[in-house]
Chains A and B, each alone.
Chain A
């Protein structure tokens, strides 16, 4: 791919970035646009810490050439919380102690958001499967799974009211 100008919408804001021949979406989001929730864990698609949502689909931004998403809508963790308050998912992470060092947390929250967007009532197995691409080295995953189960139960309760 050649260098050039790529237009993307990030968290609702139109952006134009000048790219090199091999520029990843991760590099643009983190280093050009300062969305530092997009972590650089392994740069090889092995850890999930750089997960973002592109046109509704979960993507590993480190494996995505930015030219490939020209014209797309990208959502990072920052875009899930534009009011800068505590979101329902963040509250569940707090209640269940689902973050320790916190490095995987942005990717986890993005992956969970993508899961709940396509399946509002996932089973425990479906939750674990949805987190299969995200490495957490601290928590043992169970608190994260419990946080998701808790928000699913709460959403079902609201829908049932």
Chain B
């Protein structure tokens, strides 16, 4: 029995969103009577933290505290439209829509505050702590709560805003094949280290080390959560997970968690990552999408590491023990 080690890397250029024949996300923002802000969306938080970052983005654009923003993504039947949570698109699309809606609501908020303070709108600024004051005059101020109350009950204004981000359709040029498929691109390089047991064909991933360029991070802890989770998913796709192990035949297709194998806690290697921030031109505060890329770059890196360890050229996933042993047999027979 021999255990061989190898190192492989992969670099990817990853699109944020697709045009999909026109890909919009809408947002509605309004102030409650007490000066909280509700951001109404149909965009879905799968646990990646979308509601958190949309509240951050809304708070930043409105100039109000984060904890006064409520993100309501409750009902895709009645909420403003969102195409969905996929294609690493939602931070970009929904974030931009929220900024647009928040800016319109902020404009009304400042108009109401200006009327109450009897000053010009252009003289006002928010402190991000729940107050609006005259620039350079700390004590000539009104709270956001009082402003919202005045809008509702004295002035008959609605502090609200509408936002949409649309990636327009981009039909393919029939001559050149060109189109404009995405909104911005993130980048990655992953290095994987593996150990392959040449008797059993088992592959152990020893380390996943990556650099990810994700534009401006909205929430670094949530970006890290995507990266570590993505590394695990990448290991699963590279080594174990498939619904058709003998594709295109569907023989031996797994039907449950006993036969659909995934890596467990014991299979997780060290995951290291550097995050680089190069702001995108059109993302919310310069953000790009990070969700899918972090699953994709580990996969070819791991397969390359296996090839490096064994001196073979496997080009399929998942690289199950059977695939490893067949590649070794082929190499021994002189075909590798």
Interface residues of A (CB under 8 A from B): 42, 44, 46-47, 97, 99-102, 125, 127-129, 131-132, 134-145
Q: Within 8 Å CB of A136, what residues of B?
A: 265
Given A47-B257, A100-B49, A101-B47, also A138-B229 (CB < 8 A): yes
> How many Å lie between the Cα of A2 and that of B266 in the bound state?
40
In angstroms, how far is the closest chain B Cβ from the Cβ of A22? 19
Say which residue of A46, A134, A140 sits within 8 Å of B232 (CB atoms): A140
Interface size class of B (residues with CB under 8 A): 20 to 34
Q: Is the interface of A mostly helix, strand, loop or mixed?
A: loop
Q: Within 8 Å CB of B49, what residues of A?
A: 100
In angstroms, how far is the closest chain A Cβ from the Cβ of B221? 6
Given A46-B258, A100-B229, A142-B228, also A131-B47 (CB < 8 A): no
Given A100-B225, A131-B264, also A140-B256 (CB < 8 A): no
**Does B100 belong to the interface (CB within 8 Å)?**
no
**Does B262 belong to the interface (CB within 8 Å)?**
yes
Given A139-B228, A142-B228, also A44-B257 (CB < 8 A): yes
**Does B271 belong to the interface (CB within 8 Å)?**
yes
Q: Within 8 Å CB of B228, what residues of A?
A: 139-140, 142-143
In angstroms, how far is the closest chain A Cβ from the Cβ of B334? 40
Check A132 against B266 for contact (C-beta < 8 Å): yes
Of A131, A142, A144, the most chain B CB neighbours within 10 A belong to A142
> How many Å lie between the Cα of A99 and that of B47 in the bound state?
8
Given A44-B258, A46-B257, A100-B225, also A140-B271 (CB < 8 A): yes
Q: Within 8 Å CB of A101, what residues of B?
A: 46-47
Q: Within 8 Å CB of B34, what residues of A?
A: none
Closest to B227 in A: A140
Q: Within 8 Å CB of A144, what residues of B?
A: 265
Check A129 against B229 for contact (C-beta < 8 Å): no
Interface set, chain B 49-67, CB cutoff 8 A to A: 49
Check A46 against B256 for contact (C-beta < 8 Å): yes
In angstroms, how far is the closest chain A Cβ from the Cβ of B161? 30
Of A44, A99, A134, A139, the most chain B CB neighbours within 10 A belong to A139
Q: Within 8 Å CB of A134, what residues of B?
A: 265
In angstroms, how far is the closest chain B Cβ from the Cβ of A13? 31
Of A46, A134, A141, the most chain B CB neighbours within 10 A belong to A141
Q: Within 8 Å CB of A145, what residues of B?
A: 265, 268
Using an 8 Å CB-CB cutoff, how does the interface string of B195-226 with A read, 1 for contact, 0 for none?
Answer: 00000000000000000000000000110110
Q: Within 8 Å CB of B229, what residues of A?
A: 100, 138-140
Q: Within 8 Å CB of A44, what residues of B?
A: 256-258
Q: Within 8 Å CB of B46, what residues of A?
A: 100-101, 138
Contacts A97-B224, A100-B46 known; 6 new A-B pairs at CB < 8 A: A42-B256, A100-B225, A128-B268, A138-B229, A139-B225, A143-B228
> How many Å lie between the Cα of A97 and that of B265 in the bound state?
16
Given A42-B256, A139-B229, A143-B228, also A128-B265 (CB < 8 A): yes
Given A44-B256, A139-B225, A140-B230, also A131-B265 (CB < 8 A): yes
Q: Within 8 Å CB of A128, what residues of B?
A: 264-266, 268
Q: Within 8 Å CB of A129, what residues of B?
A: 265-266
**Does B48 belong to the interface (CB within 8 Å)?**
yes
**Does B290 belong to the interface (CB within 8 Å)?**
no
Check B231 against A140 for contact (C-beta < 8 Å): yes
What are 19 pairs between A and B in contact, CB < 8 Å? A42-B256, A46-B258, A47-B257, A97-B222, A100-B47, A100-B49, A100-B225, A101-B46, A102-B47, A128-B264, A128-B268, A135-B257, A138-B46, A138-B47, A138-B48, A140-B230, A141-B265, A141-B268, A142-B268
In angstroms, how far is the closest chain A Cβ from the Cβ of B321? 19
In angstroms, how far is the closest chain B Cβ from the Cβ of A116? 15
> How many Å lie between the Cα of A131 and that of B49 in the bound state?
24
> How many Å lie between the Cα of A138 and that of B291 in the bound state?
11
> How many Å lie between the Cα of A125 and that of B264 in the bound state?
12
> How many Å lie between the Cα of A145 and that of B270 in the bound state?
12
